[in-house]
Structure 1
């Protein structure tokens, strides 16, 4: 299989992750301002499996589809208004989150331990972006924004980080061994299990 064929397969899997994120967004627990969703688990999986480049592309595709009005955001919603509304900071925050998580894994190694570290870092990046945006968009105090947009998600964030790390590394290894995923770091032999 040529390098171009492997890249094409990686792009197809990237698009698939944008779709998976849209599906996982519909798994939610409503809260007063910000619902708990499966989006962050999907974002963690995208970064862990695809790395920085393709993971970020999957998030950009997901956000573009949602901004165009396709109901892929939580509660079957879509449109630009979601990106600039009170929960928009979480959505926009997915971009640096996935890039930094993937970059960390590429610079260290794709192991469950490193994936857990990356996913925990990613959780905090998303929560910081989301809380800061929530404070401004909903005109809240820092304390109210923290209590509504950060504190309720910490325990669930750690659980999702652990799941994304374990499932993500195992899935990545299987995709790479089946030659369904291409990654530039493969030549450096950084894919191993811990």
Structure 2
């Protein structure tokens, strides 16, 4: 019985646990996750009629959650958020958190990255990224967490009603999010298979 519990304790919870050197590794991963998200945010395209662009930052934030686990992903996304609030233009479209005297309409989605990092990291540590089907479920829940923060903030900043906010803040992104989820469902389980060799 003791050998089974020690084997479970030694099993890596998330992909980044495979790397040696706990403290230096953790710091590098937290900074790297924030930087990856900032870099992915620069791949963005405006959506006609929507103040929220399509960008790679959502995919990066979800991958950071799955790869780093709950605590490191939360710290990584908090760092991403804080640096953007401090004025570094690494949100989508090269924005900081502030533009034209107020918060950018997409700021709530960035707050949602923190919640998604926690949720996806928690689920990944429990095997939520080990099979394609589990990964799909994990990523759907992560996207819902992002929308749960993004939509109310979008409404508050722009004054849109719920119907309009859903039409411009969720609906245009559903196909892209489905593609990102499919990509993650292929990448993450494949990474686990490679790591187990």
* Aligned CA distance change for structure 1 residues 173 and 21 (closer, same or farther; 3 Å): farther
Question: What residue ranges of structure 1 are gaps of 5+ in the alignment?
Answer: 178-191
Partner of 2:142: 122
Matched residues in 2 for 1:165 and 1:6: separation?
27
- Aligned with 2:77 (options 51, 59, 74): 59
Report the TM-score, using the length of structure 1 for normalisation: 0.80
| Residue 93 (structure 1) aligned with residue 109 (structure 2) | no
Instruction: Provide the aligned length of Structure 1 versus Structure 2.
Output: 175
| Residue 167 (structure 1) aligned with residue 168 (structure 2) | no
Q: Which has the larger radius of gyration?
A: 2
Matched residues in 2 for 1:168 and 1:10: separation?
20
Give the Å deviation of 1:45.
Answer: 0.8
| Residue 11 (structure 1) aligned with residue 27 (structure 2) | yes
* Aligned CA distance change for structure 1 residues 93 and 109 (closer, same or farther; 3 Å): closer
Give the Å deviation of 1:33.
Answer: 1.2
Give the Å deviation of 1:172.
Answer: 6.1
Question: What residue ranges of structure 2 are gaps of 5+ in the alignment?
Answer: 1-18
Give the Å deviation of 1:169.
Answer: 4.3
Contact kept in structure 2, 1:123 and 1:161, CA below 8 Å: no
Contact kept in structure 2, 1:51 and 1:105, CA below 8 Å: yes
Larger RCO, structures 1/2 (Cα 8 Å, 6+ apart): 1
Q: How does 1:20-169 map to 2 (within 5 A)?
A: 20-31=36-47, 32-80=50-98, 84-112=103-131, 113-169=133-189
Report the TM-score, using the length of structure 2 for normalisation: 0.79
